[in-house]
Amino acid sequence: MSKKKIVEPAYINSPLNNPMPNYHVYYMNKAEKIIVTLVAFVIGGIVGYIFYGDLFMEDGMATSSTYISNVVVFVIVGILAIKFLTPIYVNGRLKKQQNKIKSQFCDMLDSLTSSISSGSNVVKAFESARNDLRMQYDENDFIVLEMDEIMNGISQNIGVEVMLRNFGERSGNEDITSFADIFDICYRKGGDMQSVIYRTHRVIIDKISISDEIETKLTSNKMQHNVMSIMPIAIMAMLRSTNDAFAESFATPVGVIANTIAIIVFLGAYRYGLKIVDSKG
């Protein structure tokens, strides 16, 4: 028997029993899901028509079967496009979400380093960092929500290390998780917190810098990948609209088979291309 896929929750309870974001996953809200579904359906339907449109024509004239087949093709390919394009969109949003929390966490470490360097204790440093972050970000930004939760935990006699560990487990980022683990050990054993926070800050800054350099170098490749992905569809649309004989040849059984094989190859090449140009920051 096959095991059921475990669906991770969008929120995980903090030590205060408050639901906090689970950064391992990204779930669309209702409005976003409707828009993405409609856009994917329309794109898929148009592509389906370009490759499989105007079947069952007689003497160059559309029949009732032609109109029915056009609708059927539009709907079927549109539904398949939803299944294919939605995960790509979600993965893209998830990557942006993880990059965002990593960048904001780095700003948090920057504020913590400055506060501890000025002689503040750990609790005062976190409070000062929260105030700094509130000036940089909106109240609904990830890091502000996390800092508010950490400070609420401190006010209810829950250790900073406990709140940080929960944040690290939810973050989906190995740097945040590592920092939480190191902070926990040093805080309980009286380690050099200033050095720990400073070194972690430098490591993350260096990783972000390297990741940005790789991303910049891959930008042109990603653009080429997107253009090459669109070109076969654009060429097919141009040939169908400018050459009636070409369009009629693709409405034959042999043409349908050829189109199907071409689409399978195209989708495989597209997915493989995504893996090539993807950078793991």
* pLDDT at res. 237: 83
Whether 172 is covered by a domain: the verdict is yes
Higher pLDDT, 142 or 262: 142
pLDDT exceeds 60 at position 3: no
* pLDDT at res. 280: 55
* pLDDT at res. 142: 93
pLDDT exceeds 50 at position 99: yes
Question: pLDDT band at 1, cuts 50/70/90?
Answer: very low
CA distance linking residue 15 with residue 8, whole number of Å: 18
How far from 219 is each of 96, 106, 212, CA to CA, in Å? 15, 24, 10
Average pLDDT of every residue of the chain: 85
What pLDDT, in 10s, does the model give residues 18-30? 999 999 999 999 9
* pLDDT at res. 28: 94
Cα 268 to its chain centre, rounded Å, is 21
Share of the chain above pLDDT 70, in %: 95
Buried-exposed string 205-216: b where 16+ CB fall within 10 A, e elsewhere: eeebeeeeeeee
pLDDT exceeds 60 at position 192: yes
CA distance linking residue 160 with residue 183, whole number of Å: 9
The answer to whether 146 touches 20, Cβ cutoff 8 Å, is yes
What average pLDDT does this structure show over 120-141?
90
Whether 17 is covered by a domain: the verdict is no
Whether 230 is covered by a domain: the verdict is yes
Backbone angles phi, psi at 21, to 5 degrees: -60, 140
Question: pLDDT band at 151, cuts 50/70/90?
Answer: very high
The answer to whether 266 touches 232, Cβ cutoff 8 Å, is yes
Whether 199 is covered by a domain: the verdict is yes
Closest of 134, 135, 156 to residue 145, by C-alpha: 134
What average pLDDT does this structure show over 66-73?
89
What pLDDT, in 10s, does the model give residues 251-266? 778 878 888 888 888 8
Whether 52 is covered by a domain: the verdict is yes
Higher pLDDT, 35 or 200: 35
* pLDDT at res. 199: 80
What pLDDT, in 10s, does the model give residues 116-126? 888 778 889 89
What average pLDDT does this structure show over 192-201?
76
* pLDDT at res. 281: 46
Lowest mean pLDDT among 75-84, 188-197, 249-258: 188-197
For residue 133, the enclosing domain spans 25-277
pLDDT exceeds 80 at position 194: no
Structural domains in the chain (count): 1
Angle, vertex CA 238, rays to CA 236 and CA 241, nearest 5: 105
Whether 8 is covered by a domain: the verdict is no
Between strands 19-21 and 11-13, the pairing is antiparallel
Q: Tell me, what amino acid is at 272? A: Y
Torsion angle, alpha carbons of 228, 226, 77, 236, to 10 = -30
- Strand-pair partners of 19: 13
Most confident of 52-56, 152-156, 201-205, 211-215: 152-156
Question: What ranges in the chain are assigned the alpha helix state H?
Answer: 30-52, 64-117, 122-136, 142-155, 160-171, 174-189, 193-242, 244-249, 253-277
* pLDDT at res. 23: 93
Whether 213 is covered by a domain: the verdict is yes
pLDDT exceeds 70 at position 279: no
Whether 19 is covered by a domain: the verdict is no
Q: Structure pTM? A: 0.81
